[in-house]
Structure 1
Amino acid sequence: MGITYKDEQGIAGMRTAGRLASEVLDFLTPHIKPGITTREIDRLAAECMKKQGTLSATLGYQPSGYPPYPASLCTSVNNVVCHGIPNDKPLKKGDIVNVDVTVIKDGWYGDTSRMFLVGEASIAAKRLCGITYEAMWHGITHVRPGVRLGDVGFAIQKFAESQGFSVVREFCGHGIGRNFHEEPQVLHYGKPGTLEELQPGMTFTIEPMINAGRRDVKEFGNDGWTIVTKDHSLSAQWEHTVLVTETGYEVLTLSAGSPPPPAFVNG
């Protein structure tokens, strides 16, 4: 399947799905505090989706070689890089957790994630989460027609590494539309002037996974999904779905509770 280019109707559908995905995170935000389990976060999200009239894209999702994913969202705590499965372990003060939500609305997919600090986190954890957020936006602000995906990946990598962090290579962003994962792959590292050229109507995620230590990752346990840092260092991730417009970009996964862009955006 090649890259799909969205027309006005498709863009409208993607805007709605993206906003609704972000509103799930808005709904969850006040609940994410010490003592809650990630399974309870998952239950609350499923309730929210039911009220929205959306479906979880992750529940039962089974790409080739994977077992069916068992939850309505992903919760990746501390050294979990991505695809953490909700469980009954309570979150404790100082934890960091990525909550990754993908909903389906009228056949269109909206995909976004945020980092949450549980109670008072360490300065190092706060800095990792903040730099990862900025890294995502360094990628987003490079999006416009004529730019290549290598330019986007390079911007993320250059910034993250300049701050002393490392970029996970094994997982990347992706095209999205009427399918959860479409072409192209969106790497969070790379060389300027390489890979696909951006054109209006493309929609894809930018979702860098940034580690406090080395970039190496491994599978954890035998659930077939959970990925952790090899050196047990903290990992953070943020994700937005973006549209390439005629003149630049539009972030499709924004809602009333979305964190504001960093100061350098539109600055």
Structure 2
Amino acid sequence: MTDHEDLVRRIERDLMDSYDEELELEIEDRHPDLATHALGAGDTEAEKSQRIAYFRELFRLQAELVKLQDWVAASKQKVVILFEGRDAAGKGGVIKRITQRLNPRVCRVVALPAPNDRERTQWYFQRYATHLPAAGEMVLFDRSWYNRAGVERVMGFCSDDEYEEFFRSVPEFERMLVRSGIKVLKYWFSITDDEQHLRFLGRIHDPLKQWKLSPMDLESRRRWEDYTRAKETMLERTHIPEAPWWVVPADDKKKARLNCIHHLLSQFEYAEIQRPEVQLPARVRNPDYLRHPVPADIIVPAVY
């Protein structure tokens, strides 16, 4: 094998490794015992065809996301995207697919924990405002200031006065963001009662996913109807022209991911940024350079 052929083979292996990240995500959505099935063995021809179509479209959309990212950075746009929905609705899955191939310096995810004692005494939006984007940045909120309209309302973590003040303030807060030049997108991932039930059962019986279930999640399951009423009130009172809500039907995870990413891209009149051709410079070689051997006791054992 020539040096050129060897180089091509190594590049191909590197590309295959990047594609394998997608396969790992695919397996992650199913029980580990079904890993082989998820990779295609035993699928019907129709299932294989659907799966191939999903990956092809996901790759295409992710390529468009890279173009969007470059355009945001080059044109100094400021973008905020909120992802809301019931527990196990699939918000994390679509966020993972959106950010998977993007530069974390341009596109970052914010997933805040419950407020601490100090934050509870601040202006409600204060801890979220510190994470808003500068020029050339996209910020994805995995849950957002709408916690007050959902979990805080249902679980009694806020008073009636605080709840009403939120609805008075949030439209003005979002209009201020838009007037300042921030593009605000708000997605609600909608799943049915039966689908959430099945996904919770899957997490209960999967040791790799049990960490995703908290006591709050289990309580939210019991209070399904309370969350439904809270969601309906939230959508009714905060759906404004400057920052409307978009509802993503999410019983089918794959379709939800593709539909959300496709819609997100449609909200921008972006263009591909032309890059100058990259020329890899020759490495400088000094005759007196000597690379010292790595001590054997600090090398990670080759278990695999």
TM over 0.5: no
Structure having the larger proportion of residues in helix: 2
Taking structure 2 as the reference length, the TM-score comes to 0.28
Instruction: Give 1 or 2 for the bigger CA radius of gyration.
Output: 2
Structure having the larger proportion of residues in strand: 1
Taking structure 1 as the reference length, the TM-score comes to 0.31
